[in-house]
Amino acid sequence: MNFEQKKSLIEKYFSYVDEKNIEIFNLYTEDVEIFFPKFGQHRGIKKMKEFSERMSKVFNKLEHDMNSLLFIDAGDKVIVEGNESGEMYDGQCFPDYKISQGKFCNIFEFKDNLISSVKIYVDPDFVSADQFLVTALYNQE
């Protein structure tokens, strides 16, 4: 796959995530690797489906700002930085643009024109509820 094909596949991935479209599972290899903070690192479509089910219980809505996506061609990998927003299961919206900024970074790998690995780097404290770390790290000046 060339870079533009990878980029197109990734854009479809983000659209499917935001739409909660089950067609997303057709974008992955059978042995797809997933990493997400607190979920850990796993392999296989079964684990990817489990991750999706768990995330659907966390969010009422999740949106990736497609216009903010920065794609970095790293040979076999594509790194994507962007902004996301949404609503948690309890109605709280994020980011607050004070403590939480809605930033994320994903690293994608590919095999046979499909996504073989997705590593998602994001602070899973979307609504800044972790008061210990907020107090320890947030500079209010």
- 29-33, 48-52, 56-60, 134-138: range with lowest mean pLDDT: 134-138
pLDDT tens digits, residue range 46-98?
999 999 999 999 999 999 999 999 999 999 999 999 999 999 999 999 998 88
What domain count does the chain have?
1
Query: For the chain, what percent of residues have pLDDT higher than 90?
Result: 79
Work out the mean pLDDT of the chain and round it to a whole number: 92
Tell me, what's the pLDDT at 125? 77
Tell me, what's the pLDDT at 91? 94
Tell me, what's the pLDDT at 137? 72
Q: SS3 sequence, the chain?
A: CCHHHHHHHHHHHHHHHHHCCHHHHHHEEEEEEEEECCCEEEECHHHHHHHHHHHHHHEEEEEECHHHCEEEEECCEEEEEEEEEEEECCCCEECCCCCCCCEEEEEEEEECCEEEEEEEECCCCCCCCCHHHHHHHCCCC
- The CATH number linked to 42 is 3.10.450.50
Domain that holds residue 52: 3-137
